[in-house]
Structure 1
């Protein structure tokens, strides 16, 4: 039975270090072997710093998958869905590899990130890195709780992981979408709290969701809390974290799912809106600067890469 990467469904951490790489030419064989060794590296440091609750993920970019694993391809793996409507934009970037490192210690994340870069060596170029952190009680820098609708308990695995019926060869893997949002906090913080709450359709301090009749069609919750044709909630597992310094602040949005479709539906609902053109007004205060699609394979598939 295939085993998932622990970091996909792990509980939230205090610190995150997110690495984006592009592969260099003629190093594919070396890179396959190196990637197969990353889970053991995670295990080594998770045991050494057991109090840090280290969790990691290795994911392969949609455009790079066939080169790194030509034997087969996840059924629904496809490029990030670039979208643009008026001033609402979701750009698409092509990254070959993504390494996610999360724990409750920033120094441990730094150590593990250093070891990952040493392991991959000259086979890759590090093109982006984001250091992120937990803010207060799991809030975004806007001050609102992030990921309130996340699945809990065993349901996390049901939502995030491909099962045997969906794609036997890639069961226990996960489709991953990442966007780095940059917030305009000066504009956001110039608003009254009630106006901010109306944009989310949730209270800021107590994190209480508005009643259905009080939610504007343009509210963030209205745009992302979608139902399927049977009236069931469309879910993703968010592992997002805030990032920033005194100059730039935002959210690294990280979403895992057993299919790319739920994320794509939510993104379209935010940007294109509904049949009446009601888009997500939160996008007046934050802008996606990147967007990329990956697949996080099972530990079994990662091990096969090194054979």
Structure 2
């Protein structure tokens, strides 16, 4: 799913670029054909900032944040006559020799995060109630911080992602190149399924060659040690 975080909903760049929360919920909805579906979605958009402020005022130390995003397929239906972000498009399936990056359905995405899962759950429940009858849930995924920021496979995740104190308009936020939608962002939703039994059966040295880093201290392998198909080699597009 490829979607655009809606600048009309009052999100700020900080909601996108601040440090990851301790817990998160990702919800993908499909918009149904009920007569008042669009009106309910617009009502949530109009009150989204207020809902977030309420959670932050109640729990000032919980680092609560949330964003709402809309897919290319549903954008014109919800926001007719408002134009469309220049790079908003439906993700096209990519077939590789071994794996396929599938294109999945979805019209609206909520990304909810906080230090406590209870807050994420409460906000998700509020949104679900407000959108009752207007949407159908397609996917809900719960996330949590594992160990010291490691992925479930035991390696630090996102080591070379841009630092949060860098200019967010450089790498995450729409700017002057699309002034009508400045302050918004694009988001791709991806889900990976790991065969943990097979992964854990690999010697640590083999796991490190798959990732391209040391497991214990996160130090990158040298070019001589690192295979050409290591994760941090094939994902380096700089």
Q: TM-score scaled to structure 2, two decimals?
A: 0.90
**What CA distance in whole angstroms lies between the structure 2 residues aligned with 1:47 and 1:181?**
35
Q: Which residue of 1 aligns with 2:46?
A: 36
| SS of residue paired to 1:204 | coil
Distance 1:143 1:157 in 2: 31
The CA deviation at 1:29 is 2.4
Q: How does 1:102-251 map to 2 (within 5 A)?
A: 102-152=113-163, 153-164=165-176, 166-227=177-238
Give, in angstroms, the shift of residue 10 of structure 1: 1.8
Determine if contact 1:10/1:55 at 8 Å carries over to the other structure: no
Equivalent-residue separation in structure 2 for 1:170 and 1:156 (angstroms): 15
1:24-63 equivalences in 2 (<5 Å): 24-25=32-33, 26=35, 27-63=37-73
Following superposition, the deviation at residue 3 of structure 1 comes to 6.3
Deviation at 1:216, TM superposition (A): 1.2
| Structure 1 residues 117-175: Cα deviation after superposition (integer angstroms, max 9, x where no partner) | 112222111221111101011111110000111111133442100112x1000111111
Show the counterpart of 2:4. none
Q: Which residue in the other structure is 1:18 paired with?
A: 26
Q: Say whether the 8 Å CA contact 2:169–2:175 is kept in structure 1.
A: no
SS at match of 1:128: strand
Distance in 2, Cα, partners of 1:168 & 1:61: 19
Q: What CA distance in whole angstroms lies between the structure 2 residues aligned with 1:171 and 1:92?
A: 27
Q: Is the 8 A contact 1:46 1:52 kept in 2?
A: yes
The CA deviation at 1:5 is: 5.0
* Deviations, residues 52-108 of structure 1 (Å, cap 9, x unaligned): 110111000121111111220000111113111232111101201001110000111
User: Is residue 101–residue 113 contact of structure 1 (8 Å, CA) maintained in 2?
Assistant: yes
Deviations 1:242-273 (A, max 9, x none): xxxxxxxxxxxxxxxxxxxxxxxxxxxxxxxx
Give 5+ residue unaligned stretches, structure 2.
Answer: 1-6
User: Does structure 1 conserve the Cα–Cα contact (< 8 Å) formed by 2:11 and 2:67?
Assistant: no
Runs of 4+ in 1 over 6 A off after TM superposition: none
- Say which SS state the counterpart of residue 139 (structure 2) adopts: strand
Question: Normalization by structure 1: what TM-score?
Answer: 0.70
Aligned counterparts of 2:119 and 2:171: Cα–Cα separation in 1: 29
Number of matched pairs: 226
- In proportion to residue count, which structure has more strand? 1
In structure 2, what is the Cα distance between the partners aligned to 1:28 and 1:56?
20
